[in-house]
Amino acid sequence: MLDLETSRETIDELDRVIATAYSTRLVLVKNIGAYKKANNINVLDENREQQVLSNVTEILKTNNLEEYTQDVINLYKYIMDISKNKQNEK
């Protein structure tokens, strides 16, 4: 087992990675929103949402992390809600 300080340092590094990756994702979401507006495409794409959830579920399975599946699905549903709100922004 890692000690407390080492665990916290690892979490801090992961937070840097997550914050950077999530910010990049939001930039792409805004680009997609602009494309959808320009092409009169609905923001909600249930098939795409299901594909994203399937993708992350498969990632967890591949990495033997299935015990976190429901937590990750809940997180991604929240992320996709934020993404839809960003795409609907004027």
In this prediction, residue 33 carries a pLDDT of: 95
Query: In this predicted structure, what is the pLDDT of residue 74?
Result: 98
3-class DSSP state of 2: coil
With a CB cutoff of 8 Å and minimum separation 6, the contacts of 82 are 26
Give residue 2's pLDDT.
74
pTM for the predicted model, two decimal places? 0.89
Q: Across the 90 residues of the chain, what is the mean pLDDT of every consecutive 10-residue run? A: 90 98 97 96 96 98 98 98 91
> What pLDDT, on the 0 to 100 scale, is given for residue 89?
85
Give the 3-state secondary structure percentages of the chain, helix then strand then coil, rounded to 5: 85, 0, 15
